[in-house]
Amino acid sequence: MSDPVPAPAAADGGEFELIRRHFDRGPSRRAVLGIGDDCALLAPPRQAGEVFAVTTDMLVSGRHFFPDVDPEALGHKALAVNLSDLAAMGAQPVAFTLAIALPDADGRWLDAFARGLFALADRHGCELVGGDTTRGPLAISITAIGSVPQGAALRRDRAEPGDDLWLSGELGAAAFAVRCRDLGRALPPDDPALARLDRPEPRVALGLALRHFARAAIDLSDGLAGDLGHVLERSRAGAEIEFDRIPIAASLETLPLAERVALALGGGDDYELLFTAAPENATAIAAIGERIGLPLARIGTITAGSSLRVLDARGAPIAVPARGFDHFAGGAPRATQ
Amino acid sequence: MSDPVPAPAAADGGEFELIRRHFDRGPSRRAVLGIGDDCALLAPPRQAGEVFAVTTDMLVSGRHFFPDVDPEALGHKALAVNLSDLAAMGAQPVAFTLAIALPDADGRWLDAFARGLFALADRHGCELVGGDTTRGPLAISITAIGSVPQGAALRRDRAEPGDDLWLSGELGAAAFAVRCRDLGRALPPDDPALARLDRPEPRVALGLALRHFARAAIDLSDGLAGDLGHVLERSRAGAEIEFDRIPIAASLETLPLAERVALALGGGDDYELLFTAAPENATAIAAIGERIGLPLARIGTITAGSSLRVLDARGAPIAVPARGFDHFAGGAPRATQ
């Protein structure tokens, strides 16, 4: 029978201290109640008619990233893929939760991970409000919550025949970086393709600007062909794309056409937005691209029917990779949804 | 150059079909928009003054459950530990997201997992609104969202000296089942301790009934001593418990006192609610227990200071396990937060 134990000792060292040291940044600014209770408490969106947009992505070591990944880049990317989903909905980021399984409690690794995570979170005013830390094979699951006026949400099922099909940025760089690693061809550390793979930039400002101008939208995580397929299926529509209108990353310039097609249409991890809009909004959309400094390209048209046609410069069809990346069909580490 | 690919083919087989077959149950009932877009859309709570409660838990194979776990029980438990957090906040379950990493796409395993998951979800009107499926070492991360009137939320930091300390149900059965497995002593399949470990019942009805009657609350996942320690630390208070008032599971009856103490105070996975309330609410709280058919025991008192004292029948102090389960301090598979 020993003396009673002072209560605060229960939180010394280990899991609780780990969470506190790396992830608890004090009283919440956006939530009614942040980290440290059974739940966080989030006030409803401030504007009438707004709803919460909720998305979850899980990144697994060896599947979505290499085990030796730079932890700061991983912290960035784990949140970026979720903010990209909010952007594709036209939602303003509000808060997120983080569940992380770690093989060991490595303070330096966690420092760098938290630095990458919070740098991106702070830029978008998105606050960590809760989480769970456990030991296990490295895996990260983030749930992000944003707000959007219900009628302005950019849904996958809203494309209409006659809509222009738009794309932000350029495609293929991240898939090119993965391909090079698979082939054992090291890229120089400052190759922009590596930055596109490791630190994708979620198109949050674009998603917000497209409210009321775009109809349907999706973010490109699994490749243009597969992700566009989701929009077409849910909108019960088809599409025709002019391949030469798709901006392709400079890293791919010297590749044969077939490889450029494969990486641009079937490669993943681009995290650009693909969206549709009525042709009368074309000028406004071009102006949005100018204002936020992000090139926007009109790459095709939504059609009646259900087929996706990609045409070359002479109007001849180009073979389309059949599907997006499938996590149960093998392949190298790639990011998801 | 082949023919253009019909768009719906992009969703044949693999990940997307897997998600659809097991987890997509058609148009959402509670959400504005459910599974199948970049985000789910959730309308704000219906009542003025209500906020969303948000919680995340990750369960990892070999850590929180054994790899040969019954998938139906796992589906139940993965959601139950999150609903338990909502209950501890006094929140009404609304919706949840599911991220799951699977070593392979085993349809029978997923059938059973989904059956356990949805049986519990349906009982609490909690709808799956989004998720992510990937290949990887088995891990499940659920984020659950509930609603609660802001002023009625049962927070950890609200205990006050003089409050009664209450406990639902009985303790120790789940920890006893883990201990038996660790020692290679198989329990009969119908031993109630196994059911407590594999299918904990989140105390949602109790959490809702305690709004306006309890002050602070926490759910017991890591052991009474450690979890009470969180309440005491955040409330800047201490507590005194009479050990003989703690209802202990019948499975532990024949154990020596020291083992009963270790399992009841230091064992985890009970998922009972520990809460504090002003003494004048004692009659009302006893009536709540009667009404919902769940025994509620007054096991002690919140005190000034910061120490946790546990006393035996003669008023002598009993040694308290120093902390809750720490995922970075070794040990057998156990459930978290």
- The CATH code for residues A15-149 is 3.30.1330.10
Is the pLDDT at A42 greater than 50? The verdict is yes
Q: Mark yes or no for CB contact A10/B50 under 8 Å.
A: no
Is the pLDDT at A265 greater than 60? The verdict is yes
Q: How confident is the model at residue A51 (pLDDT cuts 50, 70, 90)?
A: very high
| pLDDT tens digits for range B180-213 | 988 888 888 888 999 999 999 999 999 999 999 9
Per-residue pLDDT, B63 = 85
Q: Mark yes or no for CB contact B37/A89 under 8 Å.
A: yes
A139 Cα to chain B: minimum distance (Å) = 8
Q: Mark yes or no for CB contact A131/B156 under 8 Å.
A: no
Q: Mark yes or no for CB contact B229/A157 under 8 Å.
A: no
Is the pLDDT at B234 greater than 90? The verdict is yes
Is the pLDDT at A257 greater than 50? The verdict is yes
**Which carries the bigger pLDDT value, residue B109 or residue B105?**
B109
Q: Which residues of A touch B88 (CB under 8 A)?
A: 38-39
What is the model's pTM? 0.89
Per-residue pLDDT, A215 = 97
| pLDDT tens digits for range A80-129 | 999 999 999 999 999 999 999 998 888 899 999 999 999 999 999 999 99
Q: Mark yes or no for CB contact B60/A326 under 8 Å.
A: no
**Percentage of residues in chain A having pLDDT higher than 70:** 90
Is the pLDDT at A332 greater than 70? The verdict is no
Give dist(CA B274, CA B237) in Å, integer. Answer: 15
Is the pLDDT at A168 greater than 80? The verdict is yes
The average pLDDT across B67-84 equals 95
Check if the interface score ipTM surpasses 0.85: yes
Q: How confident is the model at residue B331 (pLDDT cuts 50, 70, 90)?
A: very low
Is the pLDDT at A255 greater than 80? The verdict is yes
Per-residue pLDDT, A66 = 83
Please count the residue pairs, one from chain A and one from chain B, whose beta carbons lie less than 8 angstroms apart: 349
Per-residue pLDDT, B321 = 73
Distances (CA, A) of B311 to A87, A278, B217, B247, B316: 56, 74, 22, 15, 5
* Phi, psi dihedrals of residue B180, rounded to the nearest 5°: -60, -45
Per-residue pLDDT, A16 = 58
Give dist(CA A260, CA A255) in Å, integer. Answer: 6
Please provide the average confidence, as pLDDT, over all residues in chain A.
88
Structure token pair of residue A38: 């059974």
Nearest to A134 among B37, B60, B233 (CB): B60
Is the pLDDT at B2 greater than 70? The verdict is no
- Return the number of other C-beta atoms located less than 10 Å from residue B125's C-beta: 13
B156-318: CATH superfamily: PurM-like C-terminal domain (3.90.650.10)
Per-residue pLDDT, B19 = 67
Is the pLDDT at A223 greater than 90? The verdict is yes
| pLDDT tens digits for range B79-95 | 999 999 999 999 999 99
- Taking every pair of Cα atoms in chain B, the longest distance, rounded to a whole number of angstroms, is 88
**Which carries the bigger pLDDT value, residue A303 or residue A28?**
A303
Count, residues in chain A: 337
**Which carries the bigger pLDDT value, residue B73 or residue A322?**
B73
Per-residue pLDDT, B76 = 97
| pLDDT tens digits for range A169-186 | 999 999 999 889 888 888
State the SS3 of chain B: CCCCEEHHHHHCCHHHHHHHHHHCCCCCCCCCECCCCCCEEECCCCCCCEEEEEEEEEEEECCCECCCCCHHHHHHHHHHHHHHHHHHHCCEEEEEEEEEEECCCCHHHHHHHHHHHHHHHHHCCCEEEEEEEEECCCEEEEEEEEEEEHHHCCCHHHCCCCCEEEEECCECHHHHHHHHHHCCCCCCCCCHHHHHHHCCCCCHHHHHHHCCCCCCEEECCCCHHHHHHHHHHHHCCEEEEEHHHCCECHHHCCCCHHHHHHHHHHCCCCCCEEEEECHHHHHHHHHHHHHHCCCEEEEEEEECCCEEEEECCCCCEECCCCCCCCCCCCCCCCCCC
Question: Which chain B residue is nearest to residue A52, measuring alpha carbons?
Answer: B42
Q: How confident is the model at residue B320 (pLDDT cuts 50, 70, 90)?
A: confident
Per-residue pLDDT, B104 = 85
Give the HSE-up count for residue B53: Cα atoms under 13 Å, Cβ half-sphere: 29
Q: How confident is the model at residue A227 (pLDDT cuts 50, 70, 90)?
A: very high
Q: Mark yes or no for CB contact A55/B36 under 8 Å.
A: no
Q: Which residues of B touch A139 (CB under 8 A)?
A: 58, 60, 101, 136-137, 139, 141
**Percentage of residues in chain A having pLDDT higher than 90:** 67
Is the pLDDT at B18 greater than 50? The verdict is yes
Q: Mark yes or no for CB contact A55/B145 under 8 Å.
A: no
The average pLDDT across A274-303 equals 98
Q: How confident is the model at residue A28 (pLDDT cuts 50, 70, 90)?
A: confident
Write the single-letter amino acid at A62. G
- Of A140-144, B4-8, B242-246, least confident by mean pLDDT is B4-8
Is the pLDDT at A205 greater than 70? The verdict is yes
| Best CA proximity match to A76, nearest among A121, A107, A109 | A121
Give dist(CA B300, CA B310) in Å, integer. Answer: 9
State the residue for tokens 């103490």: B261
Q: Mark yes or no for CB contact B322/A5 under 8 Å.
A: yes
Give dist(CA B133, CA A78) in Å, integer. Answer: 15
Neighbouring-strand partners of residue B97: B130, B143
| pLDDT tens digits for range B142-183 | 999 999 999 999 999 999 999 999 999 999 999 999 889 888
Per-residue pLDDT, B16 = 58
Per-residue pLDDT, B131 = 87
User: Does any CB of chain A come closer than 8 Å to the CB of residue B324?
Assistant: yes
The average pLDDT across B234-252 equals 95
Q: How confident is the model at residue A14 (pLDDT cuts 50, 70, 90)?
A: low
Is the pLDDT at A281 greater than 50? The verdict is yes
Question: Which chain B residue is nearest to residue A139, measuring alpha carbons?
Answer: B139
| pLDDT tens digits for range B287-303 | 999 999 999 999 999 99
Domain ranges of chain B: 15-149, 156-318
Report yes or no: A241 and A310 within 8 Å, Cβ to Cβ.
yes
Q: Mark yes or no for CB contact B132/A337 under 8 Å.
A: yes
Question: Which chain A residue is nearest to residue B158, measuring alpha carbons?
Answer: A37
List, as ranges, residues 119-138 from A with C-beta within 8 Å of B.
Answer: 129-137
Please provide the average confidence, as pLDDT, over all residues in chain B.
88
The average pLDDT across B15-32 equals 74
